[in-house]
Chain A
Amino acid sequence: MAKQINVALLGNPNTGKTSVFNRLTGLNQKVGNYPGITVEKKQGICKLDRNIKAFILDLPGTYSLNASSIDENLVIELLLNKNDKDFPDVAIVISEIENLKRNLLLFTQIKDLGIPAILVINMSDRMKRKAISLDVELLESILETKIALISCRKNLGFEELKELISNYNQLSLKPCLDASVIAPEYFDRLRKAFPNQDLYKLWLVITQDVNFGKLDRKVLKGVASFQIESISNLKRLQQKETIIRYQFINNVLGKTLKIDTENAKDLRSRFDRVLTHKFWGYVIFFAILLVIFQSIFDWSSYPMNFIDNSFASLSKWFKTTLPPGDFSNLISEGVIPGLAGIAIFIPQIAFLFLFISILEESGYMSRVVFLMDRIMRKFGLSGKSVVPLIAGTACAIPAIMATRNIENWKERLITILVTPFTTCSARLPVYLIIIALVIPEGRVLGVFSLQGLTLLVLYSIGFGAAILAAYILDKFLDIPSKSFFVIEMPNYKLPMLKNVVINVIEKTKAFVVGAGKIILAISIILWVLASYGPGDFNTAEEIVRQQTISQNLTKDEIETKIASFKLEHSYIGIVGKGIEPAVKPLGYDWKIGIALISSFAAREVFVGTLATIYSVGNDDVETIKNKMAAEINPVSGEPLFNLASGVSLLLFYAFAMQCMSTLAIVKRETNSWKWPLWQLFSMSAFAYVVALIAYQILK
């Protein structure tokens, strides 16, 4: 049987740790350029040779073993707990050639813990261009480790790395330096109190307790009797430790690393002079946003029409091919229109994920954090809140997880609470179809499409609502917390095509499959509820014929009357009529009311729900858009989707909290039901009021 070993991937953020993980395991996962992208434990398997199978764990990026965020804490918890089933047999510390000095800080700490460690130097292909030379052998002998020079981009050095991992038990366990020199007397006392413990491990456990006091630590049993230093003294000692580590590193690199500064060009700073400029930085940022929204609307309209038409033909094909009956109706009137309601939005969602993925991969997102920090602070947020707010345009769930790197709890909580206001991709289907129905085509200044601009306005409204809510929360929440903010500006990288493509495909697939399942279930339920009914439903034909006997209608007109009579008296019609009084003031009929209710499972269900309701009993196989356009408001005789009801619907969807998954994640991240319930009720009530006002003004 093959031997199994645990391998942990560690390293500073932005060193390409996740790319290394992808290369080693073949599993695919996102590489981000802001800290905190690897929010959950990601594990993969790598067969080193016939005899060894490595379980590779991708840990969150961390600058040191002194945790200051939940993600970093996860790393230290693991490294301090020998009994954890994931405890590594060997640690791979990923560094980057240009930031070697800083990356080595973490390496020396891990080595001092007595864990076998391999140093990986990534982006080694850049050494020549950056005029860097490194004496690898000398560095290996001073650090008493093995070094692998790799390049993820060019796929270099991975065979050597695998071989080093296989031979992990030949690695030296000697520490790099003796941390006890920072306070010899204190460490002496420690040694006496805990004679059998590793001193450096004890030291980390003690200092970790400074930051995460509530954690239970078995190692420290009986520590209560041991006099712990004051927190500020411990901090001073941590600072001292950092200083001696840097002295050691400077000394080591002084002997091994040569950088020819004459030839080293700092392109990053030159780019950043412009991209983070007081004026031009903002102009460029908003221009990028404008391009993104224009293209989401413009470029995707062609594939969107194609998909819509294809589903309509598919429905028709089933209707004519299958033997008539309930099954044929269920497929062509229930399932296919429901699925079409999600499939036509694949192009937009793919474009959106593409752009967000590029912004993150390239390193530009950190510049946006820099540009926005001061403005966001005025609203009780942090510059780092921009990342969740932008990522929220794809989906609130990863966005809320991305708040973990906001250092300040109050800023983080507010960010979590307001992120669901940003226009996520699930709102996009609703927006697009309603905009297409109620906003005229045409261009402003000959360039910007009116419909595209409307979409941009909706995105701005979502963002504005988030900011405003943050401002109010900032005033009312009384959470004392210290402001503190450090962000790295990573090197610009040309996004790796492979990473971007995989990311787009995976995210789109997850969206379609996730939403698809809900939609399939809901559309079947809706179809059943709309196709059957009690009492009058079963005698619909007779009743309608009697009512219309004197009106001299054509056969077709009578058929339509019967169909709509049936729908109104079906089970769903009865439920819909029940809720109609609540949605009527917003300009909706009972069918939209049903769609609103089903949207609380997930927003994107809206279009599919309407498509299913409108298809039942209707033999004409039409595109979703045409079906909606043909709906007439029974009271006014006008089209049901007009400017007033359309705007009202758009605003309702902009503000309402209609996503069960987001509520679940907020519960998990805030550890209480208080905040998700607060979101559900206050956001939805606000949505109702705004939609009401909008309809009453515009009608």
Chain B
Amino acid sequence: MASIVSLKIGQRAIIKDFSVDVVPLKLLEMGCLPGNEVSLVQEAPFKDPLYLIINGSHLAIRKETAAQIEIELIDG
């Protein structure tokens, strides 16, 4: 299964699933929930951290967290 880390800049995807134990609640509150859209705006060197738009919110998270969030790419 692909995670957010595999996104390329400009690509969009739908958040599938993740474990609550590794993803902080704060991220959920900012809109990182299954079914919501995520896209990659920019990446820092070594893809860490990642600058994302999740559910309309612009935010950055570290690679280790991003790797825990599974996604499904949106075609086109």
Give 30 pairs: A residue, B residue, CB < 8 Å, sorted on A: A64-B26, A68-B26, A99-B56, A101-B31, A101-B56, A102-B29, A102-B30, A102-B57, A239-B20, A239-B28, A243-B33, A269-B53, A273-B9, A278-B43, A373-B44, A373-B48, A373-B49, A373-B60, A374-B49, A383-B49, A407-B24, A483-B62, A485-B65, A486-B24, A486-B60, A488-B57, A489-B58, A489-B59, A490-B58, A491-B58
B25 touches A272 (CB 8 A): no
- B42: chain A residues at CB < 8 Å are 272-273, 276-277, 370
Alpha-carbon distance A243/B23, docked complex (angstroms): 14
Task: Report A-chain residues with C-beta under 8 Å of the C-beta of B20.
Answer: 232, 235-236, 239
Are the C-beta atoms of A269 and B33 separated by less than 8 Å?
A: no
Report the minimum CB–CB distance from B60 to chain A (whole Å): 5
Shortest B74–chain A CB gap in Å is 14
Verify B21–A485 contact, CB threshold 8 A.
no
Report the minimum CB–CB distance from A498 to chain B (whole Å): 26
Chain A's closest residue to B41 (CB) is A269
Cα separation A547 to B10 with both chains bound (whole Å)? 86
Question: How far in angstroms is the closest Cβ of chain A from B76?
Answer: 15
CA distance A99 to B58 in the complex (A): 10
Chain B residues in 8 Å Cβ range of A246: 31, 33
In the complex, which of the residues A101, A272, A369 contacts B41, with contact meaning CB atoms closer than 8 Å? A272
Distance between Cα atoms of A483 and B27 in the complex (Å): 14
Max chain B CB contacts within 10 Å: which of A268, A272, A369, A374?
Answer: A374
Cα separation A578 to B60 with both chains bound (whole Å): 57
Interface SS of chain A: helix, strand, loop or mixed? helix
A66–B28 alpha-carbon span in the complex (Å): 11
Knowing A66-B25, A235-B21 are in contact, say whether A99-B57 is a contact too (CB < 8 A): yes
Bound together, the chains give a CA A526 to CA B2 distance in angstroms of: 71
User: Are A484 and B55 in contact, with the CB atoms below 8 A?
Assistant: no
A73 contacts the other chain (CB 8 A): no
In the bound complex, residues from chain B placing their C-beta under 8 Å from that of A273 are 9, 41-42
The residue on B at minimum CB distance from A246 is B33
Instruction: Tell me whether A486 and B25 are in contact (CB under 8 A).
Output: no
Contact B30–A374 (Cβ < 8 Å): no
Let me know if B25 and A242 touch, CB within 8 A: yes
Chain A positions within 8 Å of B24 at CB level:
68, 407, 484, 486
Tell me the complex Cα distance, A315–B54, Å.
63
* A-contact bits for B34-76, CB 8 A (1 contact / 0 none): 0000000111111011010101111111101100000000000
Give CA–CA (A102, B59) in the complex, Å: 12
